[in-house]
Structure 1
Amino acid sequence: MPDWRMAWQTTDDLAAFDAAALDFLRAQPTQNTILLSIPSVLRERGLQAFGDSGPRFGWYEDANGAVSAAFLQTPPHPLLVSDLPDEAAARSLVEVLRTSGRPLPGINGPQPVAEALASAWCAETGAVAREGAKHRLYLLGELTWPSPLPAGAARIATSDDLDLLLAWFVDFAEEVGDPVINAQRAVVDRLDYGGLTLWEVDGAPVSMAGITRLLEGDGIRVGPVYTPKALRGRGYAAAATAAVCESAFERGAREVSLFTDLANPTSNALYQRLGFRPLGDRVVFRFEG
């Protein structure tokens, strides 16, 4: 029999979400890095930072107000969800989402959670779930710079690099199959806090690596990392990544993380050589019908 003391609370109010769920999220800043970074952008750029429709938020709590799970969605993107405490939380979340009357384009979460939610959603609604990219979450231990270090040096990108960065952001998004809705807004946001680093050789940029702001819980996530195809295989991405990791610690990060595409063995091997260790996998399901 369900325990009705455990329940999902939902809101469109970011401040209410922060008040209820922030302590839960920042207790594990790496595992919850996306659920911490998206609200960080919303606070800075407004609730329409990721699309024209307002976001929605939710958290799972017991009768004493203890929170053990959270979600958020910024339409038109899939719902982002944390780990869930049990099957009852998954079943009740599907019911909350189904009865909300809002469209649900997909689920993005830890692999077992996303699979369970997608299966339950399809059983309830008749939708078909299409599995998208799988990503592995890594946490940096001791940073190991590439050796030998490639030619060149790192520098923080500035507004003078805007055109190049816009082109690289679009190229990166097309490669990974995740189009940027507003590339200029994404790049300008990073430039505002010095969140993009270029590796240069003889004054010419050859690779790019980004980091988030310092998030609640003192975590920073690396990404995107991009090198044009013609310049790959020379160690530039590894050097740029090492540079932004060092910068992240200088900014006060307690944990530095990143996601890789599991379909790309080269990048997974590269980051492990730099000192990253795997924590778990996430998967995206998109719904049709």
Structure 2
Amino acid sequence: MTDPSSRPPAAARREQILSIVDERGFAKVAQLSQLFGISEVTIRADLDALADGNALQRVHGGAVTGGPASGRPPGPERPFEQSMLASSPEKARIGRAAASLVQSHQTIVLDVGTTTTAIAAALLDRDDLQGVVVITNALNIALLLEPVIPRFTVVVTGGTVRPLQHSLVDPLAGVVFERIRADLAFIGCSGVDAASGITNVNLPEADLKRRMLEASARCIVVADSAKLGVTQHSRVAPIGQIDTLITGSEADARELAVLEAAGLHILLAR
């Protein structure tokens, strides 16, 4: 714990907390408690005070950017390029761990997102793979995988473009999943919680993620450690519908224990 004499007063601490949340998009109570060396009860009080002032928004387990006083739109969704900067070494390790599960001649679904983009990047290094079919609703992933065509077949879902994430959503994006059966689906998300399940900040993308899961024999969620214990407003699936969670070794041991107790198989990317 931090030396009590070195702890900032409440007002200064809350300014620092706000800067952290603004930089990262969201922050967890447990992480802030450890960072400032104070109790989680005090951190919750700080977050509640900031939320009352409309400087951020409270969510289960922490807080996200947004609120009238913040000058930001509500919710933690950030442009793809900004999200790529957060936890990038961890996401690269998650990407390699996920890509190692793919076998030649399989059909896989790659969801939109920075962590699934790391999977695509890792697949580029798999010279041993042949005949893999990749179905994606992410324009950037399709372009990233273009150099491995024709060794890979890359199928883009179609649909309406969401420029913030370079993703394709309904109408039309979900039609392809009514006509295919994939071996693996790699799904990104905004939160993983034992009680709330897999959740996302964006409702149209959450709807498409559910269709991906339904069209796949095996469902794998990829999420960096900061998303564990977080709940967003758009539900994707309960924990029981997920075969494996791949996350970073930085993940909080308590969060991992709760998820494992709920029956979720977890693979740590080290």
Normalised by the shorter chain, which TM-score bucket? under 0.3
Of structures 1 and 2, the one scoring higher in RCO (CA 8 A, sep 6+) is: 1
Taking structure 2 as the reference length, the TM-score comes to: 0.28
Flag the structure with higher strand content.
1
